[in-house]
Amino acid sequence: MENLTSQKITEDLLPQEFGKQGKIWVAFLLVLCAIGAYAYYRQLSEGLVVTSMRDYASWGIYISNFVFFVAISLVGSLITAVLRLTNVHWSTPLTRIAEIIAVSAITFASLIIIVDMGRPERFYNLFLHGRLQSPIIWDVIVITTYFFISILLLYFPLLPDFQILLRFKEKTGKSLNKLYSFLGSFWKNTPAQIKISDKAINILSITIIPVAFSIHTVTSWLFATTYRPGWDSTNFGAYFISGAFLVGAGGVIVAMYIFRTHYKLEKYITNEHFDKMGKILVLLALLYLYFNVNEFLVPAFKMKKSEEEHLVGLFTGEFAPVFWFAITTAMIIPILILLFKKGRKPLPAFIAGILVVVGSWFKRYLIVTPTLLHPFLPMHDVPQNYMHYFPSWEEWAIAIGSLAGALLVITFFARIFPIIPIHETIIENEQHEKA
């Protein structure tokens, strides 16, 4: 980062009002959310029959979407916690991006699981009558915990920025000023406050890593504790976590590019950031590819009768186009792009990030649904449409609406709060100048 004055940094990083593009973007997301809300209204009034889920494929794109949201939320622990604890300072401008992705994703993971319920008004029973033996209860507990830790990890580093934001009342506006005052007027930047805050952030960074690992391991156990072809694997926890870090890192690269170009943050999110994140993404893609080889090659080598239909369905059958699309876009092409220095420039890295995110979404679908369509006992005496699954328009609308909702949370967060930590950037700039 070039030498900048504190004044310049603050002016650059203050939240900005939506321009024309921003307004169109928000309107577009709101329309998608409204369509999703209408589809959910139809599902509530008509019942789950409006979906394509039937006796066999009882988990469809809602649960795929849930797994995707949980996966992408792990990025908060990767960028904020792992890199902070290993004293990696270049990641400072990316921490808040990663944390808001984590918070919005984990919020919508919770919501989409309620959407999948036939009687959502009975959701509270999970808390009142939940069985500790059930991995679903473990997931409910760990998601709630992760949500609170992520909120705290987002909030604590914001405290010094509130003090700065309150100084720019005329720029930020009256209503936002009230919000900043409510959230952080008590921050006076005293040494005692800084000490407590730093300690709290360090404790959070340590705590969030095992909780993040738990959240996705437990999500993988929702499947792996069930004896079914494709899910009966001891590899699942590590396989899910490596995939989660990959999609999370991909999501951060996409967000970095969009915030950099839209808010003109080239001085703060530099080419070097893309280069380093690109390298991390290659490492994670290779790691995930390794787990995929383990997950599919070993069962395919044995080709047990009960697994054969499922594996052949993925490799050459009904699900082959989606399977190979997911493997190619989520891993192979991003690796090929990002292995080269030119590929780690902002635009190619952004394209690789988008491929990772899109491919990973389809990968989650492949983890959830094909297994359900290949039960141990053959399907017979059921209508033809029970044997296949293709989401209804309501399912697509709700799933896309939830993705739009998560993006809307990130968009509004960036409108209200500095998407790059102002105080930390100033401090690091001063340290850089001194050095």
Partner 1 sequence: MNNMKKHNQLYILIALLSCLSFNARAQATKNDLVLNLSYYNNNNQSQYVMVHAKSKIDGKFQQIPGIDVRFYITSDSSSANLLGKAITNEKGEAFVLIPPSAKDEWNKSANQSFIAVAQASKLYDETKTNVDIVKAKLQIDTSADKVITAKLLALNDTVWLPVTGVDVKVAVKRLDGNLNVNETETYTTDSTGTVTAEYKRDSLPGDAKGILTLIATIEDNDVYGNLTVEKAVPWGATFQNTSVFDKRTLFARRGHSPIWLELMAYSIILAVWLVIFYLIMQFIKIKKLGRLAD
Q: Decide whether 44 or 200 has the Cβ nearer to partner 1.
A: 200
Smallest distance, Å, CB 399 to partner 1?
31
Q: Decide whether 204 or 352 has the Cβ nearer to partner 1.
A: 204
- Which residues touch 86 (CB under 8 Å, ≥6 apart)? none
* CA–CA dist 346, 323 (Å, integer): 28
Q: Taking a C-beta distance cutoff of 8 angstroms, is the pair 334, 273 a contact?
A: no
Q: Decide whether 6 or 207 has the Cβ nearer to partner 1.
A: 207
Smallest distance, Å, CB 84 to partner 1?
16
- Give Rg (Cα) of the chain: 23
Q: Taking a C-beta distance cutoff of 8 angstroms, is the pair 204, 152 a contact?
A: yes
Nearest by Cα to 29 from 409, 418, 417: 409
Q: Decide whether 156 or 412 has the Cβ nearer to partner 1.
A: 156
- Which residues touch 127 (CB under 8 Å, ≥6 apart)? 140
Smallest distance, Å, CB 148 to partner 1?
6
* CA–CA dist 61, 231 (Å, integer): 17
Smallest distance, Å, CB 336 to partner 1?
40
Residues that bind partner 1 (CB under 8 A): 129-133, 138, 141, 145, 148-149, 152, 156, 159, 185-188, 190, 192-193, 196-197, 199-200, 203-204, 207, 211
Q: Taking a C-beta distance cutoff of 8 angstroms, is the pair 409, 99 a contact?
A: no
* CA–CA dist 283, 226 (Å, integer): 31
Smallest distance, Å, CB 206 to partner 1?
9
Smallest distance, Å, CB 139 to partner 1?
12
CB atoms under 10 Å from CB of 184, counted, come to 18
Phi, psi dihedrals of residue 59, rounded to the nearest 5°: -120, 120
Nearest by Cα to 423 from 159, 186, 199, 179: 159
Q: Decide whether 132 or 435 has the Cβ nearer to partner 1.
A: 132
Q: Decide whether 201 or 247 has the Cβ nearer to partner 1.
A: 201
Q: Decide whether 107 or 214 has the Cβ nearer to partner 1.
A: 214
